[in-house]
Amino acid sequence: MKLKQIFSKGNLLYALFIFIFLIVCLEIFGRIYLTQILHKSTKPKFRFSYTRIFEHIPGFKEGDGKRDWIVINNQGFRRATDIPVQKPANTIRIFFMGGSAAHGISSAAPYPIRHIYMDETVDAWLEKYLKPKYPEYKIEVINAAVTGYQVFQHTSYILSELLDYHPDIIIFFDGANDHYFSSTIFNYYLDNRYQFWKARLQHPSCSGMTDYFMHWLSNFSGFARGYMAWKLNYDARKMDNLNPVNMQYASAAEMIRQHRESAPRQYLRAIETNLSILENNQIKPLICLQPMLVLRDSLLYSKDEKDFYRANANVSTLYPVVLEELKALTSQHHAPFVDINLKFNDPAFSHQQLFIDYCHLSPFGGDVAARSILPVLDSLIQQITVR
């Protein structure tokens, strides 16, 4: 009798109502939290890639309903319009590659939120400055940077897709994501922080099935999208703890020694591979070391930069070594190299905000970075146009 009462039609309908009500509340909360608090889209931005670990979802947009600050075109580039795969005549095609700073992401908590719009990225500034200089050519500077990418992922991207677009020049804008590693036991390719998906595929589990379901649901649900954003970041941090890129060292000299031992098997090998690929395909490279707040003279900081400055001993200690390594490698391959940090330490920019957090650029910072790259890039274009 009691079971009949518990499972009566009225009780079941009431339980169903409560369940649906909770789901609706969670969905409303998720959408409000994503859009109003985090200023994020309710749609996922990334998907799995069998060549690059992850990639942009074509057609993704993020904005406030009035103006989009991020637009991913149908080819996966941060660009408002698509480009033809077959390069038209009289076109100078330049790809701009890197991680989040090159992509131009917004700052997020604990930093003040500042969005970087489509006309405020480094590539947008470069295209703006180059077009008037070469009116007889169509100048394309295409943002192929992806948040979180390390140099070895550029290799897969170039081979699997970008070569088909027949670029004339590829600019690499890297540093923060992989140049300052010092662990000799870290496997640069297998221990990447975004490789957490492998365990779910190789060792299926109930929790893995839950994540798989929520990942599918995130295509439709703001709550699931928020959950997956948190879960993927949690898994990435877990991978960092399991496979630290830096260790505790007794001295700066020991850190430098370990870095010098590991770098040739890590980012230097990846850069050299990319340079060889470009050389074999008659594409001109331009290697840039991205700027970081910790590498800027603190006397030049703006008020906001002072507020969100965080020390980073690894970067501060290894910067001269990384600079030496990059100069030697690019010189060996006769590739131009630009250290953007030099421009960011120009006293002319004293007390002007160039960063919106520890490494991501303000609109003015993107402009300064572009002007730092421009003379070398202009020289490369001149070499192409006089062929």
CATH number of the domain where residue 97 is located: 3.40.50.1110
Walk along the chain (387 residues) and give the pLDDT tens digit of each residue. Answer: 455 555 566 777 878 888 888 989 988 998 998 888 889 999 999 999 989 999 999 999 999 989 999 999 999 999 999 999 999 999 999 999 999 999 999 998 888 999 999 999 999 999 999 999 999 999 999 999 999 999 999 999 999 999 999 999 999 999 999 999 999 999 999 999 988 777 777 888 887 888 889 889 999 999 999 998 888 889 999 999 999 999 889 899 999 999 999 999 999 999 999 999 999 999 999 999 999 999 999 999 999 999 988 889 999 999 999 999 999 999 999 999 999 999 999 999 999 999 999 999 999 999 999 999 999 999 999 999 876
**DSSP 8-state assignment for residue 165:** G
DSSP 56-86: EPTT-EEE-SS-EEEEB-TTSSB-SS---SS
- Tell me, what amino acid is at 288? C
User: CA 82, 84, 90 angle in degrees (round to 5)?
Assistant: 120
Looking at the structure, tell me whether residues 21 and 169 fall in a common domain: no
Q: Assess if residue 202 is contained within a domain.
A: no
Q: Assess if residue 375 is contained within a domain.
A: yes
**What SS3 state is found at 108?**
coil
Q: Assess if residue 200 is contained within a domain.
A: no
Looking at the structure, tell me whether residues 12 and 130 fall in a common domain: no
Looking at the structure, tell me whether residues 161 and 129 fall in a common domain: yes
Q: Assess if residue 59 is contained within a domain.
A: yes
Q: Assess if residue 318 is contained within a domain.
A: yes
Burial class for 2, CB neighbours closer than 10 Å (0-12, 13-18, 19+): exposed
Per the CB < 8 A criterion, the answer to whether 339 and 289 are in contact is yes
**What SS3 state is found at 95?**
strand
Burial class for 38, CB neighbours closer than 10 Å (0-12, 13-18, 19+): middle
Q: Assess if residue 342 is contained within a domain.
A: yes
In the structure encoding, which two tokens stand for residue 45, read together? 């931005």
pTM of the predicted model, to two decimals?
Answer: 0.93
Looking at the structure, tell me whether residues 28 and 116 fall in a common domain: no
Q: Assess if residue 198 is contained within a domain.
A: no
Range of the domain at 159: 46-193+243-385
Phi, psi of 276, deg, nearest 5: -65, -40
Per the CB < 8 A criterion, the answer to whether 252 and 317 are in contact is yes
Looking at the structure, tell me whether residues 20 and 153 fall in a common domain: no
Looking at the structure, tell me whether residues 62 and 7 fall in a common domain: no
